[in-house]
Amino acid sequence: MWDYTEKVKDHFFNPRNAGELPGANAVGDVGSISCGDALRLMLKVDAASDTILDAGFQTFGCGSAIASSSALTEIVKGMSLDQARAVTNQDIADYLDGLPPEKMHCSVMGREALHAAIADFRGEAADSHDEDEGALVCKCFGIHAGLVEEVVRDHGLRTLEDVTNYTKAGGSCGCCHEAIEDLLQSLNAAAPDTPEPVPLRAAAEPAPAMTELQRVRAIEAVIAEMRPMVQRDGGDLELVDVDGKTVFVRLLGACTGCHLAGSTLSALQQRLMERLGGFVRLRTVEAVPLAAGMEG
């Protein structure tokens, strides 16, 4: 289980400024419910002074996403738009006394929503990280190369695991891993003196390491807990194999080709990482049809 600070817990259990904001004149929408996380940030801005008078949010996501959104609204109230534009995702994490590395993407989502809301107020195009800033890297979570490059440079990221922690890219089917690693190699080669990422806070005392058998049984238990939920909608999922930090699963029934499959996989990955206490890479395996003449 990850170690959450008291501030994270407080902003999760007692979120500030949650819900619709009457009179909001700046709105930033980021993420997608089908990808597992979505945030709408609403600002009430004084047009004469460009000062943020109030802020509110609506978040679909985990506890860290809610806490990060709550913290962001508290940070920006009273700021000018230019001051708010300079707020970074690390500022959000620092306000909460730190986030687990696996949850840093929640603070990045907050910063993206803030930029989108400011652009909305000013009538400008939001930072979209679209094809003009690089190709689509991760189809599962809609992450383009522009965002990956930005967080790699801003935070000195070195590994695929780092990129997944900060953006979620690479956290589902695994098809984009090679593209992410190519980006990392080119960016770090261009800036060889980039310092190692600085931990946001002291790491918690690690839990005793599981044996391989214990890990497999824990993974089976998580999948067993989730199966009734997907079975209710006519789908199913099963464990295929475990190779180190990579877990191979198969989607069955209505889950095959479903537009919400990404949400199912995201929820499964989050539960696995919480149960195992570390990064998990999730990959899907296609169902193999029986050979002709083998049925029955």
User: Per-residue pLDDT tens for 38-91?
Assistant: 899 999 999 999 999 999 999 987 888 999 999 999 999 999 999 999 999 999
The whole-number pLDDT of residue 291 equals: 47
**Per-residue pLDDT reduced to its tens digit, 259-280:** 667 767 777 877 787 788 777 8
Q: How large is the average pLDDT for residues 97-125? A: 91
**Per-residue pLDDT reduced to its tens digit, 235-248:** 899 999 999 888 99
**Per-residue pLDDT reduced to its tens digit, 19-32:** 999 999 999 999 86
Which of the listed ranges 37-46, 98-107, 196-205, 230-239 does the model predict with the highest average pLDDT?
37-46
Write down the mean pLDDT value for the chain. Answer: 83
pTM given for the model: 0.65
> Can you read off the two tokens belonging to residue 59?
């978040």
176-185, 203-212, 254-263: which range is least confident on average?
203-212
The whole-number pLDDT of residue 296 equals: 39
Dihedral sign computed on CA atoms, order 151, 159, 207, 212:
positive
> Can you read off the two tokens belonging to residue 251?
């989607």
The whole-number pLDDT of residue 278 equals: 75
32-36, 59-63, 117-121, 215-219: which range is least confident on average?
32-36
Q: How large is the average pLDDT for residues 172-188? A: 84
List beta partners, residue 40. 29, 58
> Can you read off the two tokens belonging to residue 159?
């590994």
292 band by pLDDT with thresholds 50, 70 and 90: very low
Q: What percent of the chain has pLDDT over 70?
A: 82
- pLDDT > 60? residue 99: yes
CA neighbor of 31 nearest in space, from 143, 134, 182, 191: 143
Q: How large is the average pLDDT for residues 167-179? A: 80
Antiparallel, parallel or unpaired: β 281-284 and 246-253: parallel
> Can you read off the two tokens belonging to residue 246?
């990579």
Q: What is the dihedral of CA 76, 78, 84, 87, to 10 degrees?
A: -50
Domain ranges of the chain: 6-122, 131-190, 212-284
Q: Which helix (H) or strand (E) holds 51?
A: strand 51-60
> Can you read off the two tokens belonging to residue 255?
């889950």
Antiparallel, parallel or unpaired: β 246-253 and 136-138: unpaired
The whole-number pLDDT of residue 134 equals: 65
List beta partners, residue 39. 30, 59
For residues 263 and 199, what is the distance between their CA atoms, to the nearest angstrom? 29
Looking at CATH, the fold of the domain delimited by 6-122 is given as Sufe protein. Chain: A (3.90.1010)
8 band by pLDDT with thresholds 50, 70 and 90: very high
DSSP state of 185: H
Domain 131-190 sits in CATH at 1.10.10.1100
Contacts with 58 (C-beta within 8 Å, 6 or more apart), sequence order = 18, 19, 20, 39, 40, 42
The whole-number pLDDT of residue 295 equals: 42
Which of the listed ranges 137-141, 196-200, 204-208 does the model predict with the highest average pLDDT?
137-141
Q: How large is the average pLDDT for residues 107-113? A: 93
Second CATH level (architecture) for the domain 212-284: 2-Layer Sandwich (3.30)
The whole-number pLDDT of residue 220 equals: 93
What is the set of active-site residues? Answer: 35, 106
CA neighbor of 15 nearest in space, from 87, 66, 84, 86: 66
